[in-house]
Amino acid sequence: MRAELISVGTELLLGQITDTNAVYLARLLASYGVDVLHKQTVGDNLDRVRGAVVLALQRADLVIMTGGLGPTEDDLTVEAVALAIDRPLVYDQSVADGLAAFFERRRRTPPASVFRQARIPAGTQVIPNRRGTAPGLIVPVGDQTIFIFPGVPHEMEGLVAEGLIPWLQARTGGDVIRSRVLRIAGLGESVVEERVRELIHGANPTVAPLAKTGEVHLRITAKGPPGAVGAMLDEMEAALRARLGDAVFGIDDEALHTATARLLIDQRKTLAIAESCTAGLVASRLTEVPGSSAFLLAGFIPYSNEAKVRDLGVPAALLAAHGAVSAEVVAAMAAGARRVAGADVGLAITGIAGPSGGTPAKPVGLVFVAIDSDARTRTEELHFGEGPGRSVIRHLAAQTAINLLRLTLLRW
């Protein structure tokens, strides 16, 4: 079965709201093995909505529309559908009675405009709305079907549960579509793609790389019988991990800082952090994880040279010789944080996030990260460039530091 989603609302095109309805519907349809091949977003314009419906009916068996069902003049979805399929609008008394009862229960007088919602295309099945006023509609068009839902998410989801899901259950039951996302840190998108190139071009499961800020995601999607899809995903995940190794830190919604915090907790290692440049971003992310008090002993934000000397014991001569943004100083910061706090691991960051402060020798985007432990001290020199901007540079610096900590713990 081929499906198409149509989201109606000028506010979507203006970026005033995020289309969470389409995400919800796409995931639901995939769980029933329905292929969503296209999605359209269209503003509150009668002719454009009509055109979107006509186009969808040319290439889909199932069309699901959200938005534009209210009582106001710009709620045009029902009228546009009627025009697209060349059917008259009829007044449905059961819908009108439901609207009247809705307002009566709230001891309010309904405005006359609310009864516009009782006008529906001839031959339409109504799904009563128990959470609002606009009903859901099922419009059969030959062998095709159009579902129309209000745009308010909790109303839409209630109507989907009562109308769309039973409809899908009666017509599917064969193959399902499932996805799993592998999350990768420390490797760029091009490197990841090079390592897994021969796996990306498979037909089932498919593998798609997705670049994120400071991460790369690989989405594995498999289609097949419910009992077989899990094994297909497992097999492809194992093949990808064999090529990417420790760069894979989690699956689906697992964040990098969560994976790293769990390693600290499981290994019973303690941590001290010194952040110049990121100003507590690393500590903030790690302490989002419950139980972080078991591993984080102290955090320092030594922005000035004086604070680096006073709080961490960084030698003033080292600062004078190499400058605050240097491999030598960041290593001393990590060692100092570990020593002062009495931690197993010291982690430090220093850098130039911009937009000012850079020089030809030390440009904006230059960041140093260090890990200090009994086993060794390791430093990383990073060049993010000034293009990403201050907030992204700081995010990337924190991401790199957390990943370096994770790798250190894995190889402890």
Answer for the pair 192, 244: CB distance below 8 angstroms, yes or no: yes
Answer for the pair 164, 171: CB distance below 8 angstroms, yes or no: no
Q: Which domain holds residue 291?
A: 257-410
The CA R_g of the chain, rounded to the nearest whole Å, is 28
Does the pLDDT of residue 31 top 90, yes or no?
A: no
Residues 121 and 229 placed together within one structural domain of the fold? no
CATH number at residue 301: 3.90.950.20
The per-residue pLDDT for range 195-209, each reduced to its tens digit, is 999 999 888 999 999
Helices of type H across 172-292: 189-195, 197-200, 226-244, 256-267, 281-286
Residues 62 and 198 placed together within one structural domain of the fold? no
pLDDT at 394: 96
The model carries a pTM of 0.74
Number of domains comprising the chain: 3
Residues 244 and 189 placed together within one structural domain of the fold? yes
Beta bridge partners of 206: 221
pLDDT at 109: 87
Does the pLDDT of residue 174 top 80, yes or no?
A: no
Residues 95 and 226 placed together within one structural domain of the fold? no
Does the pLDDT of residue 133 top 90, yes or no?
A: no
Distance CA 312, CA 341 (A): 10
pLDDT band at 279 (very low <50, low <70, confident <90, very high): very high
Residues 287 and 198 placed together within one structural domain of the fold? no
CATH number at residue 143: 3.40.980.10
What integer is the mean pLDDT of 262-268? Answer: 97
- Give the end of a domain, one of 251, 274, 293: 251
295 against 227, higher pLDDT: 295
- Give the end of a domain, one of 251, 276, 298: 251
| Residue-wise DSSP of 216-250 | EEEEEEEEE-HHHHHHHHHHHHHHHHHHHGGGEEE
Residues 194 and 247 placed together within one structural domain of the fold? yes
Distance CA 52, CA 39 (A): 10
Does the pLDDT of residue 72 top 90, yes or no?
A: no
Residues 241 and 338 placed together within one structural domain of the fold? no
Residues 406 and 291 placed together within one structural domain of the fold? yes
pLDDT at 69: 87
Does the pLDDT of residue 176 top 90, yes or no?
A: no
Q: DSSP letter at 175?
A: -
CATH number at residue 222: 3.30.70.2860
Beta bridge partners of 182: 218, 251
- Give the end of a domain, one of 171, 204, 238: 171
Residues 357 and 214 placed together within one structural domain of the fold? no
Residues 224 and 189 placed together within one structural domain of the fold? yes
What integer is the mean pLDDT of 75-79? Answer: 93
As to burial, measured by CB atoms within 10 angstroms (0-12 exposed, 13-18 middle, 19+ buried), residue 280 is middle
Residues 68 and 82 placed together within one structural domain of the fold? yes
pLDDT band at 412 (very low <50, low <70, confident <90, very high): confident
Answer for the pair 81, 46: CB distance below 8 angstroms, yes or no: no
What integer is the mean pLDDT of 153-182? Answer: 90
Q: How far is CA 52 from CA 86, 113, 144, in A?
A: 14, 26, 15
Cβ atoms < 10 Å from Cβ of 352: 22
Residues 8 and 130 placed together within one structural domain of the fold? yes
